[in-house]
Amino acid sequence: MTLDTQRIRADFPILSETVHGHPVTFLDSAASSQKPLAVLQAMDDVYRHRYANVHRGVYLFSDEATQCYDAARAKIAAFFGARETEEIVFTRNATESLNLLAYSYARALLQPGDEIVLTELEHHANFVPWLEAARTHGLVLKFAPLTKDGRIDEVQFASLLGPRTRLVSFAHVSNVLGTITDPRPLIERAHAVGAKVILDGCQSAPHMPVDVQALGCDFYVCSGHKMLGPTGIGVLYGRRELLEAMPPFMTGGDMISHVGFDGARWADIPLKFEAGTPAFVEAIGLGAAIDYLQALGMHNVRAHERALTAYALERLSTVRGLRLLGPLDPDVHGGVASFTLERIHPHDLASLLDEQGIAVRAGHHCAQPLHARLGITATARASFYVYTLPEEIDRLIDGIEYAQRVLKR
């Protein structure tokens, strides 16, 4: 293992909890990760020692809070390789980032009949905002199909692009299939027809190095809570000229340069998109999470998860009646393992695992169209992160076999 997982675990107080009398085996980090002390302490420090609203006061607390908030934005810009700090907009989560784009880019700047290309593996967050924009604004949605092993079919993807394609949006890593897509060839093809590309980085930002300029995407979105940060803070990266061309998503305080009785002028980016008091303590917490991840090294994080995924896929494939979803090659499979079990519903499995202190996700994982495409309604999903041990995968396998015995199937 490339990370010292035992040492890392000591930084996560929640991992020493017990659940139903068992040590907790937390295998649901793809839904939301646990938080290290460094993040809890960074937020505690603001509340105890320098809490005041940002961008408003001329007194010390406000000034210090503002400096910490601005520093967090700069850290995030550097982490994702953005050209400028102003290209990072804070939102509540990836869902809000995508809604912002659906309103301020698609609805505001596209014309009826313009086309948006998505894929069949998208999370609802990268599905429903576009369905709604299409419905209300006459935009046309197209969905790139998948190959048998759950990858985006590049040939079919390319065949959907045309002169009316204005936007392409897809997940860098699938939250169900685990598929890691190399976005560069898809981005190049999209750019060749003049389309802009949004990358849903919810499952890549926490788990691998991401450089938005090297990838060449126009927008990148992710959620802080999946990458060791707190809830309530998300990121939208956008190229300056695109963000500048977009109207605000929400209006009010903090996002204006001047307000009169007859109208208002907007602040420059990123504040134009950050109406109202921002979640600045959460942004500072996310900054601390990024410091933590950078100290581990994102290449090491990915190598650790690749090894765990390889082990999990190998062990799960030996379980009777278990069908794995997504690519079997750990080089293109992020740290999630989704599966079905013959004659056992994922919810029954998850409940029996919970009795043993093992937390996995069961259901459609906010990807109903994908499940429909696969001809199933639900899967069980185990997901891994920097604190996951191979022994926890062993416990999962034992737990599945226990469930099979209890249910005598």
Ligand X SMILES: Cc1ncc(COP(=O)(O)O)c(C=O)c1O
Q: Known catalytic residues?
A: 366
Query: How far from chain centre, in Å, is Cα 389?
Result: 22
Considering the rule CB under 6 A, would residue 91 count as an interface residue with ligand X?
A: no
Which of the residues 195 through 234 are near ligand X (CB under 6 A)? 200, 202-203, 223
Considering the rule CB under 6 A, would residue 125 count as an interface residue with ligand X?
A: yes
Query: Which is nearer to ligand X, 96 or 114 (by Cβ)?
Result: 96
Could you tell me which residues come within 8 angstroms of residue 139 by beta carbon, excluding any fewer than 6 positions away?
A: 106, 110, 112, 113, 114, 115, 116, 130, 133
In the complex, least distance from residue 98 CB atom to ligand X, rounded to whole angstroms? 7
Strand ranges in 239-310 using DSSP code E only, listed in sequence order: 256-260, 263-266
Query: Which is nearer to ligand X, 65 or 281 (by Cβ)?
Result: 281
Stretch that binds ligand X, among 38-46, 118-126, 238-246, 336-344 (CB under 6 A): 118-126
Stretch that binds ligand X, among 59-67, 87-95, 208-216, 295-303 (CB under 6 A): 87-95
Give the span between the Cα atoms of 259 and 255, in whole angstroms: 10
In the complex, least distance from residue 178 CB atom to ligand X, rounded to whole angstroms? 11
Q: How many CB atoms lie within 10 A of CB 41?
A: 13
Q: Which of 33, 34, 66, 95 binds ligand X (CB under 6 A)?
A: 95
Matching residue, tokens 């420090």: 45
Q: Which of 99, 119, 126, 181 binds ligand X (CB under 6 A)?
A: 126
In the complex, least distance from residue 27 CB atom to ligand X, rounded to whole angstroms? 15
Considering the rule CB under 6 A, would residue 190 count as an interface residue with ligand X?
A: no
Q: What are φ and ψ of residue 112, in 5° steps?
A: -50, 140
Matching residue, tokens 């990858």: 151
Stretch that binds ligand X, among 3-11, 119-127, 179-187, 348-356 (CB under 6 A): 119-127
Give the span between the Cα atoms of 44 and 34, in whole angstroms: 16
Considering the rule CB under 6 A, would residue 305 count as an interface residue with ligand X?
A: no
Beta-sheet pairing, 196-200 with 219-223? parallel
The side-by-side arrangement of strands in the sheet containing 379-383 is 322-324, 336-341, 379-383, 361-363
Number of residues that bind ligand X (CB under 6 A): 14
Considering the rule CB under 6 A, would residue 119 count as an interface residue with ligand X?
A: no
Give the span between the Cα atoms of 287 and 170, in whole angstroms: 26
Matching residue, tokens 């169209």: 369
Considering the rule CB under 6 A, would residue 383 count as an interface residue with ligand X?
A: no
Considering the rule CB under 6 A, would residue 171 count as an interface residue with ligand X?
A: yes
Which of the residues 339 through 378 are near ligand X (CB under 6 A)? 366
Considering the rule CB under 6 A, would residue 179 count as an interface residue with ligand X?
A: no
In the complex, least distance from residue 369 CB atom to ligand X, rounded to whole angstroms? 13
Give the span between the Cα atoms of 404 and 321, in whole angstroms: 10
Considering the rule CB under 6 A, would residue 66 count as an interface residue with ligand X?
A: no
Which of the residues 9 through 48 are near ligand X (CB under 6 A)? 31
In the complex, least distance from residue 89 CB atom to ligand X, rounded to whole angstroms? 14
Considering the rule CB under 6 A, would residue 94 count as an interface residue with ligand X?
A: yes
Closest CA to 141 of 163, 124, 125, 160: 160
Question: Tokens representing 305?
Answer: 């998860």
Which of the residues 251 through 290 are near ligand X (CB under 6 A)? none
Length of the chain: 409
Which residues sit opposite 115 in a β-bridge?
140, 165
Tell me which H or E stretch contains 63.
helix 60-79
Question: Footprint of ligand X on this chain (CB under 6 A)?
Answer: 31, 93-95, 123, 125-126, 171, 175, 200, 202-203, 223, 366
